Amino acid sequence: MIRLEPRRHHSQKMVYLSPLLAIVLTLISGAIIFAFMGKDPIEALYTFFIMPINNAYGIGELFVKGTPLVIIAIGLAMGFRANVWNIGAEGQLTMGAIFGGALALAFYDSTSVFLLPGMFVMAAIGGAFWGAIPAWLRTRFNANEILTSLMLTYVATLFLSYLVYGPWRNPEGFNFPESRAFPNAALLPIIYDGTRVHLGAVFALLIVAGGWVLLTKSVVGFQLRVVGQAPQAARHVGFRQKRMVWFTLLLSGGLSGLAGMFEVAGPIGQLQPSISPGYGFTAIIVAFLGRLHPIGILFAGLVISLTYLGGELAQISLGLPSAVTGLFQGILLFFLLGCDVLTKYRIRFGSASKSGEPA
Amino acid sequence: MTAMTGNTTGAIEQRTGSGPAQLEICGVTKAFPGCLANDNISFRIEPGEIHALLGENGAGKSTLVKMIYGVMQADSGDLLWEGNPVTIASPHDAREMGIGLVFQHFSLFETMTVLENIALAMNDVRDMAVLRQQVAEVEKTYGLPLDADRHVYTLSVGERQRIEIVRCLLQNPKLLILDEPTSVLTPQEVDKLFETLRRLANEGCAILYISHKLHEVKALCEHATVLRGGKVVATCDPRAETAKSMAEMMIGQKLVAPDRGVRPAPGDARLAVKNLSLVSDQQFGTDLKDISFSVRGGQILGVAGVAGNGQNELFQALAGETEIHGTPDCIILDKQPVADFGPRRRRRLGAAFVPEERNGHGAVPDMSLAENGFLTAFRRMALSARGLIREVPTRIFADSIIKTFDVRTTGNSAEAGSLSGGNLQKFIVGREIMQDPGVLVISQPTWGVDAGAASAIHQALLDLAAKGTAVLVISQDLDEIYAICDQVVVMAAGKMSAARNMADASIDEIGLLMGGLHDLGGETAPELNGGPK
Amino acid sequence: MDWIVPLILTVITASTPLLLSATGELITEKSGVLNLGVEGMMLIGAITGFAVTVSTGSAIIGIIAAAIAGMAIALIFAFLTLTLMANQVATGLALTIFGVGFSALVGSGFVGFAIEPLPSLHIPFISDIPVIGPILFGQDFLVYLSIFMVIASGWFLTKTRAGLILKAVGDSHESAHAIGYNVIGIRYMATLFGGAMSGLAGAYLSLVYTPMWAENMTAGRGWIALALVVFATWRPGRLLAGAYMFGCISVLQLHAQSAGINVPSQFMSMLPYLATVIVLVIISSDQTKIRLNAPACIGKAFRPAQ
C-alpha cells in the first residue's frame, strides 16, 4: 500500500531532483520500449541520446532545435504561472513566420540591413496578434483560452497552407507549394561556422535572461505568480487578472511568433506548408520540464532538442519510426507530472496509521 | 497545566445509570504526521444525555468526531456502542448504527434541491416520493419547515442547517453529534435549536454537542469533557461552572480581558459609507441594499450578523475588490470619494484590509512570509523600485512583523501555508498594522484562531484605535464584538441597521436585528459616548 | 433530391465520433474531472481499433479493444491526477502529446492497410424504405450506440441515485466525502468511462469514417468534443444537437467544394475550428448559465483529510 504524506514545507531538493528522476524513468521506459521493438536497448539509447551530439555539428543542431523550444517555452511558462493556458503557440509561431516572411517576400530582392530587424518586429506583431485573439475572447467573453488558442492553431496552419499553395507560391518554383527563397538580407547570420547555429540562439539566451529577471525580480512577475497561485489574493490587492491574461498571451504569442520567424529565416529559408515539427506543442513539455523557470527551461530545451535529434538518427540508423520522439516526450511529461508529487508529499509504504482513504 | 475545577485528567467519570452507555470512548488515540491529534481520549455518553465536548481550535474535537462518524479510523483504542465494541468503517456504517452528524461546514450541495441533498445523506432511498413524505412528517413533528424543492443556494444559513438536522432525524438517531451548530445562527434561532435538542434528549437520544460558546453549553448541557492538545484535561458539569472557569479549562491559563487603554476623543469620520447598494457578483451572493455608516478615528465599529448576509460583499466593496462605478462618493476615505478606486489606490490613501480567509485571500500559502509581506505593503513600505523587488527591505519588513507580533515560524522564508492559523493571522494583521493605516477593515479577526493569538489580535486592534485609526470589525462572534467594539451595526439580508453604542445594545435586540427585523433599527445613529438613548 | 440521403448519411458519420467522445467527457466532467486528453485518447482508440481489426479480421474485436485502450490511457490520467494529484490541465495535455506519439509509432506499421468497413444494420423491407429506411434503419451499430449512450447518460444523471451521487461529487467533493462517498473511486470510474467512449470514437474514425489509419487523423475532433460539452452546458440533450450541428458544418465544407463554391479549400477547412470558437464565445458569455450547470469542483484536486 502506497500512501502520500503531506510535507510541512515544500521540498526544495525535490524541486530539482524530480525532473532528473523523470528523465531517468523515461530512459528506463525507453530501454523497455526499444527491447519490445526488438532492438538492443543499450545500442538504441546510445543512438538516441549520445550519437547525435558526439561532434560539433551535432552539438550545433542541439542549439538549432533548442532555440525555438526555449523561446516559446519562456513565454508559455509566464502564462502557466498565471494560470493562463495558451496551448496555441504552434499557431502563433505560424503567424509570426507568415508576418515576418511577408516582409522578406515583399522585398525579395532587397539587400537592406533593415530588412531583418523589420522582420523581427513583424513576427512579434504577428504572433502577438494571434495571441491577442484568445486574450480578447477570454477577457471579454470568458471563453476558455485553451480551446480557442488551439482552434486558432488549425486556422493559422491552414492559412499558411493557403498562402504557399496560392498567392505566395514561388512563380519560378515548378509549382511546388513553396514561397520564393528569402533574400540573403532576410536570413539570420550563422554565428559558428560549420554548424547551422544562427543569431536566434543568441536571442534565446537574451530571452532566458530577460525572463529570469521578469519572473523572479520584477513586480510584474510577482503579480503573475500571485494571480496564478491565489487569484482571490490577487484580487484583494488589486492585481488584475485580465491584465495578466493580456500580458501573458501577448508575450507568449510574440515570443512564439519570433521563434517562427527564426525558423523560416534560419534553417528553412523560405515559407513552406510545414515549418515546425510541433515546436509549439513540445514547448509545453519544455516549460514543465524546466519547472516554469527560465533557467530550468534553458536546460530542458536542450534535453528535448536531443529527443528530436535522437529520433531522426534512430530513424536513419535503426529504422525506427520518427514518432518515437513524440512518444518519448509524452512519457517524459507523464513521469514529470507524477514525480512532482514528491515536492509536496512524501511517499510512505505500508499502512502505518489506519487512515480513512488510501491516498 | 493549571489544575482547574473538575475531575483529574483522563479520569472516566462513573455515573449512575442503568445499563451501558450509548457510546463509550475508551483510550482513543490518533496521530497525524507531526501531531498527536487525539491522545488516549476516554469518556461516555448516556442515552438521553446532552454532553458537551469543549476545546479550542486544534484541540482534537473534529478528529474525534470524524472517528465516531467513521470518516477516519483510530490508531488505537475502542468505541463501545451500547456496551459492545464496534468498528465504524464509514459514515454509512455510522448512520446504520444510528449516529447522526450535523457538520460545522455544511455538507450540502449548492446546485441541488433540498430533497436531493437529503437523499444523498440517507443510506437507502428507494422512492423519492416516500422520502418526501417522511421529510414532511419530520418537519411537522419538530417544527423545522423546509421546502423540499428549493435549491440550496437560495437558502439562508439557518435553513441550510435545518436540512442537516432533518437529514439526521430521518434516520431515527440514537446519538446526534452537532459540531459548532450555533456559529451561524441568531440568538433566537439558537433558542429554537435548543428546544429541538432537549426534546430529542427527552425521547432518549444521546447528544454530543461541540462548541466553544460557553454560555450556550452552560444553558444546554449536563456534562462536559474538555480537550486541550489532544488530551482530556477536565470533565465538569457546565451548570455548576461559569463561562470563565470553563474557558480557563480550555486554554489552560487565566483569561485576561483586553486592555482598552486610553482612547483619544473620537475624531472626524475617516471611513464613511453612504447609500451603498451593490448587486453581488458572486454565484450565490447577497446584494447590498442602501448601506450607510461611518467610523471615526479612534473608534472601533463592529458589524454583527449571521454569515452570508452580505458581509463578504461589504468587505469586498470596502477593500476595492469590487469597484463601484458611477457613484464614487458612496464610499469616502478621509474625505476622498473612493468607491471607483481599486485596492491599490485605496491602500495608497492609508486604508488597510484583512479578509476573513487567510490562505489564498489574505496570504498566498505557497509563497514565503517575505513575499507575503510584500504582497500588500510594497507601495506604502517602498519595497519596490523601478518595477523590481527590493529584496533586502522586503525581508527586513517581514522580520519586523514576525518580531513585533510574535509570529512563531522558522523565519521570513517559511511558506505562509506552513504556519498555524493563529500565527498566520498574527502575521497578516501585523502586516497591515505595521503600515500604520488610517482606516483598517478586518473581517472575522479571530476566526479559527487559538485563544492566545486571539487576545493578542484583540489587543493590537485596541492599540491601533488608541492611536487614532478608524477600525471596522466584521464578525459573527458577538462575544468578540462585545469585547472590543465601541459601536455596533447589524447586517441582515444585505441591509444594515443603524449604529448603536455597545453599552446600550442588548444581546436580545442584536439577535432580533440579526434575524432581519429591521424596523427596530430605524433610529438614527447615536453619537459615540453620547447621551442615554 | 437524390443527394439528400447521402448527405444526411455523411452528416451522421461525421457527427458520431464527436457525440461518442463528448458524451464520455461530459460524464467525466460531471464528476469534477477535466480531462483535456480526449484527442490523445481518440487517437489511441483509432490506432488500436484499426490494428486489432487488421490483425484479427474482426471489427467487433477491434472496437472492444479500442474502448479498452481508451480506458487504459484514461487510467494513467486518473492515476496521475486523482492519486498523485497532478495538475489536470497539464496532465490532459500530456495525454494528448503521448497519444499522438504512441499512435504514430504503432500506426507506422499500419499505414496503407485496408479493412472491411463495419457492417450496417439491414432489416429487410424496413431498411429499404426510401429516405427513412437507410437513415433510421441502415446505420452501423456504433451510430445507434452513440444515440443510446447520450440518452442513457441523460437518464443516468437525472433519474438515478448513482447519477445523483456522481453530480454530488462534482459539485462539492468536500461534502460528498464528509457524508461518506468515495470521491476518488467515483472519479476514477467516471474518467475510465470517458476514456472508453473516446476510444470508441477513435475506432469509429479509423474503422468507419475513413476507414484507414493516418497519423493525427483526429484533426482536432477531440478538442471540438471538449468544446461541445461546454456548448451543451453539461446537458446530454443539447450535446446531441451540438454534435450534429458540427457534423453538418464539417460536411458542408466538403460539399461546398464539390458544389463549385469558389473559395479556397483551406478557408472551407477552417470552418469547424472557427465555428468552435464562435460557439464557445456565445455560450461562455452567459456566465450565470455556465456557473449553474458547470460542476463546481471541475479541475480541482481532492485529497481526503486523514
pLDDT digits (tens, 9 = 90+) for B113-123: 999 999 998 88
| pLDDT at position B107 over 90 | no
C-alpha closest to that of A95 among A122, A118, A127: A127
* The pLDDT value given to residue B517: 57
Please answer whether residues C17 and C118 qualify as being in contact, where contact means their C-beta atoms are separated by less than 8 angstroms: no
The C-alpha cell that represents B66 in the structure block: 470524524
Q: How confident is the model at residue A246 (pLDDT cuts 50, 70, 90)?
A: very high
Report which of residues A98 and A186 the model is more confident about: A98
Chain A residues 308-327 within an 8 A CB cutoff of chain C: 321, 323-327
| pLDDT at position B326 over 70 | yes
Query: pTM value?
Result: 0.88
In this complex, is the C-beta atom of A140 within 8 Å of any C-beta atom belonging to chain B?
no
Angle, helices A241-263 vs A89-106, to 10°: value is 50
Chain C residues 55-84 within an 8 A CB cutoff of chain A: 76, 79-80, 83-84
Residues of chain C contacting residue A333, judged by C-beta atoms under 8 Å apart: 90, 93-94, 97-98
| pLDDT at position B523 over 60 | no
Mean pLDDT across B299-317: 91
**Domain at B22-98+175-181+209-255: CATH code:** 3.40.50.300
| pLDDT at position A355 over 60 | no
Query: Distances in Å between the alpha carbon of C30 and those of A248, B111, C147, C193?
Result: 30, 13, 19, 12
* The pLDDT value given to residue C201: 96
Burial class (CB in 10 A: 0-12, 13-18, 19+), C245: middle
Q: What is the mean pLDDT of chain A?
A: 89
Say which residues have a Cβ less than 8 Å from residue B516's Cβ, sequence separation at least 6. B492, B493
The position carrying cell 476507414 is C211
Least CB–CB distance from A220: residue in B75, B319, B387: B387
Q: How confident is the model at residue A104 (pLDDT cuts 50, 70, 90)?
A: very high
C-alpha closest to that of B92 among C165, C296, C28, A353: C165
Distance CA A164, CA A297 (A): 33
Radius of gyration of chain B (CA): 24
Distance CA B399, CA B275 (A): 41
Say which residues have a Cβ less than 8 Å from residue A348's Cβ, sequence separation at least 6. A2, A3, A4, A5
Containing B157, the helix (H) or strand (E) segment is helix B157-169
* The pLDDT value given to residue B124: 76
Q: Give the gap in angstroms from C-alpha C185 to the nearest C-alpha of chain A.
A: 10
C-alpha closest to that of B20 among B103, B114, B83: B83
Chain B residues 406-435 within an 8 A CB cutoff of chain A: 414-415, 418
* The pLDDT value given to residue A98: 96
Instruction: Delimit the domains of chain A by residue range.
Output: 65-291
Around Cβ C237, how many Cβ atoms within 10 Å?
13
Query: Distances in Å between the alpha carbon of B420 and those of B405, B423, C287?
Result: 14, 5, 36
* The pLDDT value given to residue B436: 93
The position carrying cell 444521546 is B206
Mean pLDDT across A134-145: 94
Please answer whether residues C103 and C41 qualify as being in contact, where contact means their C-beta atoms are separated by less than 8 angstroms: no
Say which residues have a Cβ less than 8 Å from residue B447's Cβ, sequence separation at least 6. B356, B477
| pLDDT at position B3 over 60 | no
CB contact under 8 A, B387 and A8: no
Q: What pLDDT digit, counting tens, does each position of C29-47 carry?
A: 999 999 999 999 999 999 9
Tell me where in chain B the CATH 3.40.50.300 domain(s) lie.
Answer: 22-98+175-181+209-255, 269-359+437-521
Strand partners of residue B224 = B52, B236
| ipTM metric | 0.87
**HEC assignment per residue over C102-132:** HHHHHHCCCCCCCCCCCCECCCCCHHHCCCH
Please answer whether residues B12 and B41 qualify as being in contact, where contact means their C-beta atoms are separated by less than 8 angstroms: no
Residue of chain B whose Cα is closest to the Cα of C168: B109
Helices assigned H by DSSP within B24-156: 61-68, 91-97, 114-120, 128-142
Report which of residues C248 and C292 the model is more confident about: C248
Distance CA C44, CA C101 (A): 9
Residue of chain C whose Cα is closest to the Cα of A148: C277
* The pLDDT value given to residue A2: 65
* Domains identified in chain C and CATH numbers: 4-293 (1.10.3470)
Query: Distances in Å between the alpha carbon of B75 and those of B4, B22, C180?
Result: 29, 22, 20
Please answer whether residues A119 and A188 qualify as being in contact, where contact means their C-beta atoms are separated by less than 8 angstroms: no
Q: Give the gap in angstroms from C-alpha B66 to the nearest C-alpha of chain C.
A: 9
C-alpha closest to that of B196 among B210, B207, B212: B207
Q: What pLDDT digit, counting tens, does each position of B7-19 carry?
A: 433 334 444 456 7
The C-alpha cell that represents A38 in the structure block: 526488438
Helices assigned H by DSSP within chain A: 12-36, 41-49, 56-81, 89-106, 115-141, 145-165, 199-212, 219-229, 231-237, 241-263, 279-289, 294-313, 324-339, 341-344
Distance CA B336, CA B347 (A): 12
* The pLDDT value given to residue A157: 95
Q: Which CATH architecture has domain B269-359+437-521?
A: 3-Layer(aba) Sandwich (3.40)
Q: What pLDDT digit, counting tens, does each position of A201-235 carry?
A: 999 999 999 999 999 999 999 999 999 999 999 99
Q: What pLDDT digit, counting tens, does each position of C92-108 carry?
A: 989 998 999 999 988 98
